[in-house]
């Protein structure tokens, strides 16, 4: 008989994982508090943009429920609920604790419980374990196996990204490793403790945040010196060791890199350590939407633009070719632009039509003065050629992702302002 895995939280992480497990012969059931999402999934419709999810669900909907009792027959329970921060950047563990409380009455002796949500070191011990211990009669094998999925990445998916795992007992870790190796085409590394597994994920994501903050800061100073950061990174990348390219831009978004450092910052604060470096990185990355929008003032002065300046803000999601807008710097840019009395704003994102103010790129560009690219969606980058922009009468391109043809745009007679790179109109 097929073994069952129950997935708690059917979002960007939980749903692809559920489908990967099903493909590897597991019986899968999903639990989510979002009734609309459950309805879609059980009707075979992807609740968010994801080609793999859409294809998998189309002819074979997933069994899912808003009733936590659905986990009762599972050998394995995987928790993949959100771990956001509050407006003050304080970790909010409510989805995690409430999901655990709701499955608690239905847990069964001997089950493997894996938490995949991103958490700081200590959460498994201080938050997860005490909840499960409310059923002392049960032996639950508890592990943490942080998810590393990179939405929109064609090469690395839930199915083939290697994992690390840490359990409260050796037996739990071994059971967890066996489970993940049965569903993944990837290696699973056993860590010495749950806390080490928690720390791995925090290290990975703060590493990215800090490196991006570093190039963002370099972009700001190179901008003053008239040095092109993109060319410099290309040059530095010829060094075959000890340099890893990271790229500047209009900010860092998404549910991971812009959030996870705050979990570590807060935890460290509680134990008397001040994470100055992590805090500074967050500050620099959070300043980038404002820096990018402020390029408009340079354009205004150089080109003597008359008010109102019609700006086409293109892209809303936090990264290319997906529809996830969580913590997106494009939303901050939108807010800053909306507050400006000298700007008439159009907003268009082909992946986020519900928040667009126009329904096509053509409508966004017609009679616009300035294009501001906030997300480098492939179809936007392809369409924003110098010739096309020129035809629409655009006078300045502000490229928040350094993704467009800077030289071509300048040669076509437009001012190009990227993040740490400028080309005067020829």
Ligand X SMILES: NC(=O)c1ccc[n+]([C@@H]2O[C@H](COP(=O)([O-])OP(=O)(O)OC[C@H]3O[C@@H](n4cnc5c(N)ncnc54)[C@H](O)[C@@H]3O)[C@@H](O)[C@H]2O)c1
Residues forming the site for ligand X (CB under 6 A): 8-14, 31-34, 37, 80-83, 95, 98-99, 102, 116-118, 147-149, 151, 255-256
Q: Which is nearer to ligand X, 52 or 392 (CB)?
A: 52
Q: Which residue is nearest to ligand X (CB)?
A: 11
Catalytic-residue membership of 256? yes
Report the alpha-carbon distance of residue 234 to residue 368 in Å, rounded: 32
User: What minimum distance in Å lies between the beta carbon of 178 and ligand X?
Assistant: 22
User: What minimum distance in Å lies between the beta carbon of 224 and ligand X?
Assistant: 34
User: What minimum distance in Å lies between the beta carbon of 3 and ligand X?
Assistant: 22
Judge contact between 248 and 419, C-beta under 8 A: yes
Residues in the chain: 426
CB neighbours of residue 69 within 10 Å: 12
User: What minimum distance in Å lies between the beta carbon of 277 and ligand X?
Assistant: 21
User: What minimum distance in Å lies between the beta carbon of 166 and ligand X?
Assistant: 16
SS in 3 state form for 342-403?
A: CEEEEEECCCCHHHCCCCCHHHHHCCCCEEEECCCCHHHHHHCCHHHHHHCCCCEEEECCCC
Report the alpha-carbon distance of residue 82 to residue 78 in Å, rounded: 13
Report the alpha-carbon distance of residue 83 to residue 87 in Å, rounded: 13
Q: Which is nearer to ligand X, 11 or 121 (CB)?
A: 11
Tokens at residue 116, please? 């995949």
Report the alpha-carbon distance of residue 149 to residue 217 in Å, rounded: 27
Judge contact between 4 and 27, C-beta under 8 A: yes
- Could you give the residue numbers annotated as active site? 256
């Amino acid at each position: 008989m097929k073994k069952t895995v129950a997935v708690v939280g059917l979002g960007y992480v939980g749903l692809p994982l559920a489908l990967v497990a099903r493909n590897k012969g597991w019986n899968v059931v999903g639990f989510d508090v979002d009734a609309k999402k459950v309805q879609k999934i059980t009707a075979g419709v992807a609740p968010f943009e994801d080609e793999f999810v859409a294809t998998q669900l189309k002819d074979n909907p997933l069994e899912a429920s808003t009733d936590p009792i659905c986990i009762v027959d599972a050998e394995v329970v995987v928790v993949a609920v959100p771990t956001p921060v509050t407006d003050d950047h304080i970790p909010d563990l409510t989805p995690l604790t409430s999901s655990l409380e709701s499955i608690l009455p239905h847990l069964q002796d001997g089950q493997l419980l894996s938490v995949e949500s991103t958490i700081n070191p200590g959460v498994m011990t201080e938050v997860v374990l005490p909840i499960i211990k409310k059923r002392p009669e049960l032996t639950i094998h508890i592990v943490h196996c942080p998810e590393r999925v990179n939405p929109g990445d064609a090469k690395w998916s839930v199915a083939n990204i290697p994992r690390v795992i840490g359990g409260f007992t050796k037996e739990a870790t071994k059971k967890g490793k066996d489970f993940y190796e049965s569903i993944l085409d990837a290696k699973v590394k056993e860590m010495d403790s749950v806390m080490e597994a928690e720390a791995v994920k925090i290290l990975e994501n703060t590493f990215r945040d800090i490196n991006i903050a570093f190039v963002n800061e370099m972009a700001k100073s190179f901008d003053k010196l008239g040095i092109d950061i993109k060319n410099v990174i290309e040059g530095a990348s010829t060094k075959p060791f000890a340099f890893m390219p990271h790229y500047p831009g209009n900010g860092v978004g998404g549910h991971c890199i812009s959030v996870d450092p705050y979990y570590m910052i807060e935890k460290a604060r509680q134990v008397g350590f001040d994470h100055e470096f992590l805090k500074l990185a967050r500050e620099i990355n959070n300043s980038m939407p404002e820096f990018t929008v402020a390029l408009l003032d340079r354009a205004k002065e150089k080109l003597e633009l008359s008010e109102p300046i019609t700006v086409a803000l293109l892209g809303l999601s936090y990264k290319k070719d997906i529809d996830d807008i969580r913590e997106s710097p494009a939303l901050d840019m939108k807010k800053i632009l909306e507050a400006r009395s000298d700007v008439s704003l159009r907003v268009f994102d082909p992946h986020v039509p519900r928040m667009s103010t126009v329904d096509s790129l053509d409508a966004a560009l017609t009679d616009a003065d300035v294009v501001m690219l906030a997300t480098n969606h492939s179809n936007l980058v392809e369409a924003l050629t110098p010739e096309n922009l020129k035809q629409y009468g655009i006078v300045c391109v502000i490229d928040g992702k350094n993704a467009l043809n800077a030289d071509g745009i300048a040669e076509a007679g437009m001012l190009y302002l990227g993040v740490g790179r400028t080309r005067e109109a020829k």
